[in-house]
Structure formats: structure tokens, C-alpha cells
Amino acid sequence: MTEKTPRATAPMLPGAPANGRRRGGAPSRPDRLYLLFWFFGSILVAFLVVPLVALALSQSWPNFAAVARMADVDQAIALSLEGAFLSATLAALAGVPLAYALARTAFPGKSLIAALIDLPLAVPHTVAGIALLMVFGRHGVFGEPLQTLVGLKFWGTIAGIVVAMLFVSAPYTVNAARIGFEAVDPRLEKIARTLGLGPWRTFLRITLPLARASIMTGVTLTYARSISEFGAVVILVYYPMTAPVLVYELFLRFGLDQASAAAVLLLAVSLALFLILRALARAAPGRANR
């Protein structure tokens, strides 16, 4: 007759109730730590939400409806959405390969390149607009020859709007995608290669799907940041006016009433799109596998 070997049990922390319950079988209350964190977190949430709610509640329906019917306002919002879409697309096409290279390779100057990518996040956007003007303006390094050779100009066109938006928002896509690629176990790629997949098929079928949620998050942030860009756009382009530039123009010409109504309309459109894009990012496959 053999003796039964007792099962190994995990050590209990001092004072910790078994099965996550207090003595007597009652469910444990929320930890005070979480309650304290939620209290301070709610202060920050209120700080972010209250000004936006106050802006929305300050509007009268007749004034809001009148501004919403203005053709200039509709065109400016449409132009902002179009420019942001093009900016996010370019950021994804160029930023995702760069992010993968940064996540999977080591080389001298890697930290410098990462710092340069983050630099637009720290530079005042009016400074960014002046820098872009030196490169893409009428007499800029690229602006003048591109206009002469192919007729492409960046002042007074959507091309300049996209350039300004892309400069200030691309780091979001690169950083989020890099974090997503770093979270993918390199051993999965090696196993795929040993099973006969080439580097391209491994990237497209293994790595990219697993990092898709992070990439979508980065593209969403790029899109949202592009819609709200003002400083770089107003210096490099100004006309045609995007929604933020038009809000500023309405404020200078007509005061706070029309400007705030246009701001609320832009806020509502941006919030709806942001919620849709965030939902798509959460639904991306591979999120639960990381």
C-alpha cells in the first residue's frame, strides 16, 4: 500500500483570506489602495471632462444650428478629416516598418534615432511650422524644386496640411507599433521560419497580426492628433483653413459665440470618430495573445 503524496500548495501571505474571501465566507471589499487611486484618478478625469462639458452646455441651439449650417465650417471639418486620414495612412505606411526595425535590430545610434522620432512631441508646434516652412515653403529646400519640377506645392494646398499634420503626429504610430512588436516573442518568428515561412510571410502572418492592436492604437492617436493640429498648419499653409484654424478665425472676427459653436461641432465629430477607431483597435485580433 502506497502512501499518498500531499499536494504542494502556494504559500499564503500573512493575513490573506483563503479563496479571496474574508473569514465567514463574505466577499472581500475593494482594496483601499484601489479606492485611493480611483479618487485621485477621478480628479484628473474631472479636470479633463468638465471644461469640455462646460463648452458644450454653453451653447444655445439656434446659434449652434446656424454655425453648423455654415458652408465654411463644414468644408473646414471635412478638410481636417481628409488631411488627418492621409496623415495617418502615411504614418502607418512608413512608421510601421521603422518601428519593426527599431524593435528587432540593434545598431549604433539607435537611441539617437528614437530621440529624434520623439522630438516633434516636445517641440512647440509653431516652431515646427517655421521649420517646415524652411523646407517646404516657397523658397524651401524641397518646396521650390518640387514646384519647379513636378508642380507640387505645399502652401495653399492639402499637401502642406498633410505634411504639417504628419510631422507632429507620426511619433504616436512609431512608438505604439514599436511597443507592439517588442511584445511579440521573437521565438515565434524563429519557429515560423523553421517551418518554411520566409521573412515576408512570417511578418505578415505572425508578427503583424500579433502587434495589430498596438498599431491600431498608434494610428488612432495619429489621426486624432492630426485633426487637432493648429500651430504647424497655420504657419505653413493657413489657407485652405482646417477646422482648428477656422475656429481661431471665427474667434478673431466674430467673437466667442461662433467660435465656441464651431469648436463644439468639431469636438462632437472628433469624439465619434475617436470612439469608432478605439473600438476597432480593441477588436483587433491578437490583443489577448500578448
Rounded to 5 degrees, φ, ψ at 40 are -70, -35
- Which pLDDT score is estimated for 45? 92
Distance, in Å, from the CA atom of 103 to the CA atom of 81, rounded to the nearest integer, reads 31
In sequence order, what DSSP letters do the residues of 43-89 get, joined into one string?
HHHHHHHHHHHHHHHT--HHHHHHHHT-HHHHHHHHHHHHHHHHHHH
Contact, 275 vs 83, CB < 8 A?
A: no
- Which pLDDT score is estimated for 192? 86
- Which pLDDT score is estimated for 28? 56
- Which pLDDT score is estimated for 156? 85
Residue 108, by phi and psi: left (phi above 0), alpha (psi -120 to 50) or beta?
beta
- Which pLDDT score is estimated for 83? 94
- Which pLDDT score is estimated for 29? 62
- Mean pLDDT by 10-residue block, N- to C-terminus, for the chain (290 residues)? 48 49 53 88 92 87 85 91 94 95 89 91 90 89 87 89 94 95 90 86 90 91 91 90 91 87 89 82 55
Q: Which three cell numbers stand for residue 22?
A: 474574508
70-289 belongs to CATH 3.40.50.2300? no
